[in-house]
Structure 1
Amino acid sequence: MDAIALNLPTDSFSDFLDRFTTSISSLFQRENIDQLSLSRGLPPNVWKEIFNLKPLSVAIPKEFGGRGVKVKECLGLLSAASYQSLPLSLTFGINIALFLEPLAKYGNQLIKGDIFKHFLDYGAMGGLMITEPDYGSDALSMRTQNELEEGQYHIKGTKHWQGLTGLANYWLITSRNMNADGNLGRDVDFFIADTHQPDQNIEVLEYYDNAGLYMIPYGLNKIDIKVPPENKLISESTGLKLMLDMLHRSRFQFPGMGMGFLKRMMDEAMTHCKERIVGASNLFALDQVQFQLAKMQSFFTLCSAMCAKSCKVSGIDHDVSGSGVHANSMKALVTDMMHESAQMLVQLSGGKGYRLSHIGGRGIMDSRPFQIFEGSNEMLYTQISEGILKDMKKKKTENFGEYLTMNELTANAAKIYKREFDFTIASPISQRKMIDLGKAVARVITVNDLLELTNEGFSQELTDNSIEMVRQEIVMLVASLQHHKDIKALDEIGDKSDWMMFA
C-alpha cells in the first residue's frame, strides 16, 4: 500500500517536531500555562488542540498510520513537551511507554487497528494499571485476579495511583490467573480494557489530591470487568518477562521527559543569573552560582548521553527484560537530576522562585514524584548494586575498579575513574551502602554512554566538565560508602529528650 492509502504522515520528523513545539508554545501562552498548571486537569478544548497535533503518532506503527515507533521520535516529542510542561510530557510518556508500545509489540492483531485509529483520529489515551493499595512496588503479590468464564476473562481487583485515572479511554491491566483450586498463579497476565464497552468500564472510587502534576488525575480504581480473549497481550515466554521488558523500556525513555525539563531549568537559571544585578555585578559572576550553573549544564549533558544511548538499545525490536542495571541507572539518575535542577533554579531565583506560578517552584513539586513512581530510586539503586555484586561474584573479582573495566556498560568510563574505584568490596553489604554504590554505578554507566556520544561529535567541552563534576560526586559517594556507621533509630526517644528540662 502507498502512503495515501494508509494515510501515512509524509512530513519529516524535524518538521513534525517544529510544528508541535511552535503550536504547544503558542497554545500555552494563549491559555496561560501558569494558570493551567494550578488547576486540576486541563479543559477539554486544550486537550483537543493538543491531540489535533497527533503527538502520539510517534508511538504507532506505520502499518496503522503512525510514524513508526522510533525511539528517537518518541524521546524528541517527550523532550519538546517537557520544556513547556513536565505533566504534559508525562502524559505522553504514560501513553507511549505504558500502553502504545506494549500494544504494538504484544497486542493481538485483531484489536490493534481499531485502537490505534482511536488514538490517531479521536485523541484517545491509554494507561497502565499495576500498583495496588496493599502491595505498592511488590507487584508480584498483586491480588487482582482473572478467570476465564464462558469465553471471556472476568477481571476483578483494586488498583491505585494510575496516571490518567478517569481520563484514559484504554487501560492495560495486570492480574494473576485464578486456577481450579482457587489459588492465584505466580505469573502475571496483561489485558486491555476498552472503556467504550459497557462490560469494560472501570469505576473510579476516589480521586487523589496529588501534590504536584495537577494536570494528571490519579486515584483509586475498582475493577470488575469482562474482556474477550483477544484483549490479552501475547507474551513471548512469560508474563513476568513481558512486564520487565515493558518497565525497563519505559525507564529507558525517562531521559526523554528529563531532557526538555533539564534544559528549561538551565535556560531559566542562566537568563536570571545574567540579568539579576547584585551590588556591582550580576549573579553570573559569583563563584557559587558558577558551580550551580555548571552542575545544571552537566545534568543536561548526561541526559543527552542517556537519550542517545536509549535510541540504540530500547526500541520495541529489542528485548530489554534483562537490561535492569542500565534501565534502572537511567531512570534513577535522571529523575534525581531533574529534582535537584529544580531545587537549584528556585535557590538562584530567590523569593519569586518559591511560587507555584514560577516554573522552578512548580518544577520541584512536579519532578519529585518521578523519584518515586515506577520504582522508587532507593529501590532501583539497590537493584543496580545487587546486579553488579552478583556479576562480580560470577567474574570472581572483589576489586571494584577492576570489575568496572570488565563490564561493557562501564569499561571506558572506568579508566577515567580508576583511582576513585581502586578498592575491594565483597557482599553482603548493608542497604544504605548498596544505595551509595548504586548511585556511583549509575554515574559511571552514564559517563560511559557520554564518551560514546562524544566520539560521534558531541561537545567535548560539555563532556570534560561533566566528567569532572561526576568525579566530585563519585568521591563523595565512595567516602560515604566506606565510612557508613551502623546507626539505628531508637524504638523510643526517651524521657530525657526534652531540651527545655535542661535550659
Structure 2
Amino acid sequence: MSEAGEVKGKSFDTLLNKLKQKMHSVYHERSNTDDLAVKRGMPPFAMREIMSANPFSAIIPKEYGGLGGDVKESIALMSAASYESLALSLTFGINMALFLQPVMKSAQEEAKAQVLNRFLTQQNMGGLMITEPDFGSDALSMRTSFTENNGKYHLKGTKHWAGLTGWADYWLLTARKNVGDGKLARDIDYFICDVTQTEQVIEVEEFFENLGLYQIPYGRNKLDIQIPQVQKLIPESSGVKMMLDLLHRSRMSFPGMAMGFIQRMLDEAITHCQQRFVSGKALINYDQVQQRLAELQSRFTIVSAMCVNSTEKAGLKNDLSGIGIEANAVKSIATDMMQAASQTLLQLVGAKGYKLNHIAGRSTVDSRPFQIFEGSNDMLYSQISEAVLKLMRKAKLDNILDFAKGFDLTQRASDIVKDLINFKIDQAMPQRKLVDLGQIFGRVICIDQVSALNEKGFDKKLTDGAVEYLRQEISNLISSFNYSNKTQVIEDYKGNSDWLSFV
C-alpha cells in the first residue's frame, strides 16, 4: 500500500502521535538533540524517520489524499516540532505556510495535483524564494525577471537566504515580468520550480555559514531556468495582494513555532530551578527567580492565546491581505517572546548554559533570527503604528483609548488598559516613536487575545498573570514613548574621543 493510501482513514491525532514518537526516536534514542544541533545539516536517517510520519498530509485536502486539515493542524505540528527542535519546526513552517498553502490556494490544477501527490507519496519538500541580495525587506523592488517564450517562462536572477537551500524538491519563486528596455512590471508573479527537472535546476552558488539553526541550509541561488506555463500560480487579483495574503498567513502561524519552543523553555527552567540549590535552598524559592519564571509562564499563556486566535482567523479560505496590523503584531511579539524566553532560561541556568550544545545557549542563538526574517520586528512595529494612525485620522480621533474602544482587535482589552493608554498622540512623530507605539499597541492586541482565551475557560490564574505581565510591559513602553530622545549618531566621532588623552 502506498504512503498516500495509508493516510486514508487516519485521524490527525494518530498522525500527531506518530510524529511525536518519531521525533523521540530521532532526538532521544538514535541520537542526541544537543549533538545534532551543533552540526550543519540533518543526518539522512533523521529526516527520513521524521518524514515517514507524513506530517504534511495533515493539511493536504482530502480530495488529493490528505487529511484535509488547515491552520489548527499546521500550528499543532509546528508546536510539537519546536518542543524538540526549533530548526525542525521552521522546516515544517517553510513547507506548509510558505509553499504548500499558496500552492493549494493558487496553483493550476495539473501542477497542484502533481505537487501534492509527491508530498504524500515521496515525502518531497518545498520552500519559497523572495529575498535578493540587494532587496531584503524591499521585496517589491526585486530584480528577478521573467520572459515568456514557446510556452515556457524563462526566469533569471539571484535569490538568497531561502531556508532549505539545496534541499527542497520544489521552490515557489517570485519574479517580475520583463517588459523590455530593462524595465520590469510593477506586479509580482509566482512560479513552481521542480528542481528534479533538467531545465529547472537551481544553481547554489554559496552555502552560508549561518549563525544558529544549523540543521537548515541557507545560501545564494542563481536562477536561469525554464518553467512550464502550467506551473505559474494564478492569483485571485494581483500578485502583490497574493504576497500580502501569503506573508500575513505565515506571520499568523508563527505562534505555532513559538508555542512548543516557549513551553520547552518553561519546562527546562522549572526543572532546573527545582533541582539547583544555592546557599541551601532551591533556586525556585528565590523571589527574583519566581519573577523570571512567572514572566516565562506568561509568555507561554500569551502565545497559547495567539494559537487559538490564528486557528480561528487564518484559514486558507480567508483573504488575509488586509490584516497587516494583527499579523504584524502576532509575528513580532511572538518572536520577541521566543528570544526573551531563551534569555530567561540562559540566565537561570548560568555558565553551563553558555554552550552551543546546551539547550539554553543553543535556543538563544536559534531563536534570534525569528525577530529578523519575514520582516524585521522594528519595521513591523513601525508599520503597525502607521496603519493605526491612518485609521485614527480617518475616524478623526487623537486619543489611543478612544480608538481602542472601537477597534475590533482591542475592544476587550480597552477597559483593562484604560488607565495606561488614555492619552493623545501627535500624528507627526519620528520613526523611533512609531516603533514604541507599535510595541504598545501590539501588546494591547495581545491582552485582547488573552481575554478571549480566558472566556473560553483557560486557566484563569495563567491568564490573569499574563495580563499583568502585559500591563507592566505596556507601562514601561509608554515611559519610553513619552521620553523625549532625539539623540543622533556622530559619524565622525574620533576627533576628540580617545580616553587615553584625558588621563
Smaller-chain TM-score bracket: over 0.9
Moved more, 488-497 or 360-369: 488-497
Which residue of 1 is the match for residue 18 of structure 2? 19
- The aligned residue for residue 244 of structure 2 is 244
Q: Deviations over 1:52-105 (max 9, x none)?
A: 010111231111111214111110000000000000000000000000000000
1:6–1:63 CA contact under 8 A, matched in 2: no
- Distance in 2, matches of 1:280 and 1:222, equals 60
User: How far, CA to CA, are the matches of 1:93 and 1:335 in structure 2?
Assistant: 14
Q: Deviation at 1:150?
A: 1.3
Residue 119 (structure 1) shift: 1.1
User: Could you say what secondary structure the match of 2:349 adopts?
Assistant: helix
CA–CA distance in 1 between the matches of 2:285 and 2:180? Answer: 72
Which has the larger displacement, 451-460 or 5-14?
Answer: 5-14
| 1:28 corresponds to | 27
How far off is 1:19 after superposition? Answer: 2.0
- Equivalent position amino acid for 2:24 in 1: S
**Residue 190 of structure 2 corresponds to residue 151 of structure 1:** no
Paired residue total: 501
Q: Greater CA deviation, 58-67 or 155-164? A: 58-67
SS in 2 for 1:224: strand
Q: Which residue of 2 aligns with 1:405?
A: 405
> Where do residues 265-344 of structure 1 align in structure 2 (5 Å cutoff)?
265-344=265-344
State yes or no: 1:197 paired with 2:162. no
Distance 2:87 2:462 in 1: 28
**Within-5 A mapping of 1:339-358:** 339-358=339-358
Q: Deviation of residue 22 (structure 1)?
A: 2.2
In structure 1, what is the Cα distance between the partners aligned to 2:484 and 2:273?
37
**2:175 alignment partner, SS class:** strand
Q: d(CA) in 2 for partners of 1:483 and 1:438? A: 16
**In structure 2, what is the equivalent of residue 131 of structure 1?**
131
Aligned equivalents of 1:92 and 1:285: distance in 2? 38
Q: Partner amino acid for 2:56? A: L
- Structure 1 residue 180, shift from structure 2 partner: 4.3
Q: Which runs of 5+ in 2 are unaligned?
A: none
Contact 2:411/2:448 (CA < 8 Å) preserved in 1?
Answer: yes
* 1:45 to 2:45 alignment: yes
Change (3 A) 1:335 1:329: same
Aligned counterparts of 1:396 and 1:6: Cα–Cα separation in 2: 59
**How far apart, in 1, do the equivalents of 2:401 and 2:91 lie?**
40
Deviation at 1:310, TM superposition (A): 0.2
Identify if the C-alpha distance between structure 1 residues 196 and 33 changes in structure 2 by more than 3 Å, giving closer, same or farther: same
Partners of 2:262 and 2:4 in 1: CA distance: 41
Task: Kindly provide the amino acid, as one letter, of the partner of residue 242 in structure 1.
Answer: M
Q: Percent identity over the alignment? A: 50
Work out whether residues 6 and 64 of structure 1, in 8 Å CA contact, stay in contact via their aligned partners in 2: no
Q: Does 1:9 align with 2:29?
A: no
Structure 1 residues 271-324: Cα deviation after superposition (integer angstroms, max 9, x where no partner): 000111111211001111011000000100000000000001101100000001
Measured after TM superposition, the shift of residue 389 of structure 1 is 0.5
Q: Find runs of 4+ consecutive structure 1 residues off by over 6 angstroms.
A: 3-6
SS in 2 for 1:158: strand
The 2-side partners of 1:307 and 1:96 are apart by 16
AA at the equivalent of 1:20? L
User: Which residue type is aligned with residue 236 of structure 1?
Assistant: E
Task: Measure, in 2, the Cα distance between the counterparts of 1:265 and 1:7.
Answer: 35
SS at match of 1:206: strand
Letter in 1 for 2:360: G
For 1:182 and 1:321, the matched residues in 2 are separated by 30
- Using the alignment, how far apart are the partners of 1:135 and 1:4 within structure 2? 40
Contact 2:4 2:121 in 1 (8 A): no
- 8 Å CA contact retained: 1:172, 1:193: yes
Secondary structure of the 1:416 match is coil
Query: 1:370-416 deviations in whole A, cap 9, x for unaligned?
Result: 00000000000000011101001111110111111110101110110
Distance 1:313 1:181 in 2: 44
Local SS of the residue matching 2:66: coil
The letter of the residue matching 1:232 is: K
> What amino acid does structure 2 have at the position aligned with 1:372?
I
Matching residue of 1:104: 104
Q: 1:8–1:62: 8 Å Cα contact kept in structure 2?
A: no
CA drift at 1:360: 1.0
Alpha-carbon spacing, 1:407–1:278, altered in 2? closer, same or farther (3 Å): same
1:119 corresponds to which residue? 119
Q: Quick check: 1:460 aligned with 2:460?
A: yes
TM-score by length of 1: 0.98
Q: Is contact 2:3-2:120 (8 Å) kept? A: no
What SS class does the counterpart of residue 178 from structure 1 fall into? strand
- Equivalent residue for 1:162? 162
Q: Secondary structure at the match of 1:489?
A: coil
Helix, strand or coil at the partner of 1:419: coil
1:84 corresponds in structure 2 to: 84
| Greater mean alpha carbon deviation, residues 448-457 or residues 138-147 | 448-457
1:298–1:466 Cα contact (<8 Å) kept: yes
Question: Residue deviations 1:135-192, cap 9 Å, x none?
Answer: 1110011000011011110000000000000000000000000114541000000001
- Using the TM superposition, name which of 61-70 and 390-399 deviates more: 61-70
Q: 1:5 to 1:417 in 2, by over 3 A?
A: closer
Q: 1:500 to 1:57 in 2, by over 3 A?
A: same
Amino acid at match of 2:362: R
What is the aligned partner in structure 2 of residue 494 from structure 1? 494
- Where do 1:423-434 residues align within 5 Å? 423-434=423-434
- Structure 1 residue runs of 5 or longer lacking an equivalent are none
**For residues 475 and 340 of structure 1, what CA distance do their matches in structure 2 show?**
18
What is the rounded CA distance, in whole Å, between the counterparts of 2:71 and 2:257 in structure 1?
13
Q: Give the C-alpha shift of residue 499 in structure 1.
A: 1.2
Residue identity opposite 2:46 in structure 1: V
Distance in 2 between residues matched to 1:135 and 1:401, nearest whole Å: 37
Distance 2:54 2:102 in 1: 19
- With 152-161 and 425-434 compared, the bigger mean Cα shift is at 425-434
Given that 1:145 and 1:177 are in contact with CA atoms closer than 8 Å, whether structure 2 keeps it comes out as: yes
Using the TM superposition, give the Cα deviation of residue 444 of structure 1 relative to its aligned residue in structure 2, in angstroms: 0.9
SS at match of 1:42: coil
1:268 CA displacement: 0.2
Contact 1:433 1:484 in 2 (8 A): no
Q: Which moved more, 1:58-67 or 1:307-316?
A: 58-67
Tell me, what secondary structure is at the counterpart of 1:177?
Answer: strand
User: CA 1:473–1:49 in 2, change beyond 3 Å: closer, same or farther?
Assistant: same
Q: CA deviation at 1:123?
A: 1.6
The separation in 2 between residues aligned to 1:351 and 1:446, in whole angstroms, is: 33
1:114 CA displacement? 1.5
Q: Which residue of 1 aligns with 2:73?
A: 73
SS at match of 1:401: helix
SS at match of 1:31: coil
Instruction: Determine if the alignment matches structure 1 residue 438 to structure 2 residue 417.
Output: no
Indicate if the aligned counterparts of 1:69 and 1:101 stay in contact, CA closer than 8 A: no
Q: Show the 5 A alignment for 1:58-69.
A: 58-69=58-69
